[in-house]
Amino acid sequence: MKIAVLGSGAWGTALAVSFAPRHQVTLWARDAHRVEAMRSSRQNQRYLPDITLPAELKLSADLDEVLAGVELVIVAVPVAALRSTLQQIASRFPLAVEFPAVIWVCKGFESGTSQLPHQIVTETLPASFPRGVLSGPSFAQEVARSLPTALTLASGDGEFAQSTAKALHHSRLRIYSSTDVVGVEIGGAIKNVLAIAAGICDGMHMGLNARAALLTRGLAEMTRLGLQMGGHAETLGGLSGVGDLILTCTGDLSRNRQVGMLLAQGKSLATILDELGHVAEGVYTAREVHCIAAQRGVEMPICEAVYRVLYENLAVGKAVEALLSRQPGSEFMG
């Protein structure tokens, strides 16, 4: 299969590296200087410096060249850049019948619109072409090193989800199919906010019991919002829900967890983001979740606490105190 991966960040590069031995893959970056540097060093020094890019992986900054004759486009840019990237793709295919299949791998809500990625896709690209979301518990570094990983590919077209998952699946990257696009996207978005909370918990040395409670109650929040928005409970209890939640809230490679740990040390958000040098989607997702939960009347106290720490300058200690002082109720009613 001829595949174009748009976006040379850690995740886009990792997927390109993983698929290149089995497919004809080109990795696109908008910066021609970065592409030339990757060509000469066979490494992505900024995002995956310890990974050697396979010889068969092509690199290009020419989008027309990358999209020529392509069968599958994997859009691996942050949510903030999804709409503009999709518009660039659409401009190259004026005839809807020529449009390639598109998969996106970003996680979160669009700032300002609070839209999930599939809603942006619906507004931007023709309705007739196959599309889907690829998500699940996955650190880019481990995928690039061919360590075993399992993901979910969800599409409203179940046949497309199954056939594409089968085509991309290999022994080190297991891909399951689903038709629950909303559930997969909600799980991928909310877990990043909860990972910030988990980082605060760990940074304040509150213990493993507290972390377990946080993850479990966080899953309840994720599920409440997911069901309210049309997702399925089994999806949120699967790879793209609880699986991604566990990984992101406990793994040291999680950027969102790092944000929480640094907040617990008293660092400002601006300083933290500058130090990370990578996008931490949970920071932006927290703001949109705050708006969506309020509009839909969904109780999400952990996500709300993260929002207040990030955007209302609430001290982390006070945020934790407020959560711990909440009156307990029925476990499965709120």
Q: Is the dihedral of CA 117, 121, 122, 127 positive or negative?
A: negative
Same domain, residue pair 169 and 53: yes
Asked whether residue 238 carries a pLDDT value surpassing 70, the answer given is: yes
Identify which of 257, 253, 255 has the alpha carbon closest to the alpha carbon of residue 195. 257
Q: How far is CA 334 from CA 41, 56, 130, 197, 330, in A?
A: 53, 52, 38, 18, 7
Same domain, residue pair 174 and 282: no
pLDDT at 333: 65
Task: Answer yes or no: is 334 within a domain.
Answer: no
pLDDT tens track for 208-234: 999 999 999 999 999 999 999 999 999
CATH number at residue 70: 3.40.50.720
Residue 225 structural domain: 190-324
Spell out the residues 6+ positions from residue 62 whose beta carbon is closer than 8 angstroms to its own. Answer: none
Alpha carbon distance 190, 128 (integer Å): 29
Task: Answer yes or no: is 331 within a domain.
Answer: no
Following DSSP, what letter does each residue of 45-90 receive, concatenated?
Answer: TTTBTT-PPPTT-EEES-HHHHHTT-SEEEE-S-HHHHHHHHHHHH
pTM of the predicted structure, to 2 decimals: 0.95
Amino acid (one-letter) located at 67: L
Contact at 8 Å (CB) between 320 and 196?
no
> Could you tell me which residue, 322 or 332, shows the higher pLDDT?
322
Alpha carbon distance 61, 115 (integer Å): 29
pLDDT at 98: 76
pLDDT tens track for 272-321: 999 887 778 999 999 999 999 999 999 999 999 999 999 999 999 999 99
Same domain, residue pair 142 and 239: no
- Count structural domains, the chain: 2
**φ/ψ (deg, to 5) at 163:** -70, -40
Contact at 8 Å (CB) between 293 and 225?
yes
Judge residue 208's burial from the number of C-beta atoms within 10 Å of its C-beta, 0-12 exposed, 13-18 middle, 19 or more buried: exposed
Token digits for 297?
Answer: 């009347």
Contact at 8 Å (CB) between 106 and 77?
yes
User: Within a 10 A sphere around the Cβ of 172, how many other Cβ atoms?
Assistant: 13
pLDDT at 127: 85
Percent pLDDT > 90 in the chain is 91
Token digits for 252?
Answer: 């040291």
Asked whether residue 334 carries a pLDDT value surpassing 60, the answer given is: no
Alpha carbon distance 2, 56 (integer Å): 12
Q: Is the dihedral of CA 219, 220, 225, 228 positive or negative?
A: positive
pLDDT band at residue 328 using 50, 70 and 90 as cut-offs: confident
The torsion angle over the Cα atoms of residues 321, 325, 328 and 334, rounded to 10 degrees, is -50
Judge residue 22's burial from the number of C-beta atoms within 10 Å of its C-beta, 0-12 exposed, 13-18 middle, 19 or more buried: middle
Domain boundary among 147, 179, 211: 179
For 138-248, where are the E strands, in sequence order? 149-154, 173-178
Same domain, residue pair 84 and 164: yes
Q: What is the mean pLDDT of the chain?
A: 95
Percent pLDDT > 70 in the chain is 99
Domain boundary among 154, 179, 204: 179
Task: Answer yes or no: is 329 within a domain.
Answer: no
3-state secondary structure (DSSP) of residue 8: coil
pLDDT band at residue 96 using 50, 70 and 90 as cut-offs: low
Task: Answer yes or no: is 303 within a domain.
Answer: yes
Amino acid (one-letter) located at 276: L
Kindly state the DSSP code that residue 326 receives in the 8-state scheme: S
CATH number at residue 274: 1.10.1040.10
Task: Answer yes or no: is 330 within a domain.
Answer: no
Same domain, residue pair 15 and 56: yes
Asked whether residue 2 carries a pLDDT value surpassing 60, the answer given is: yes
Task: Answer yes or no: is 333 within a domain.
Answer: no
pLDDT at 180: 98
Following DSSP, what letter does each residue of 127-157 receive, concatenated?
Answer: TTS-EEEEESS--HHHHHTT--EEEEEE-SS
pLDDT tens track for 189-213: 999 999 999 999 999 999 999 999 9
pLDDT band at residue 330 using 50, 70 and 90 as cut-offs: confident
Domain boundary among 153, 179, 205: 179
pLDDT at 76: 98
Alpha carbon distance 233, 123 (integer Å): 27
Catalytic residues: 191
Average pLDDT (129-134) is 95
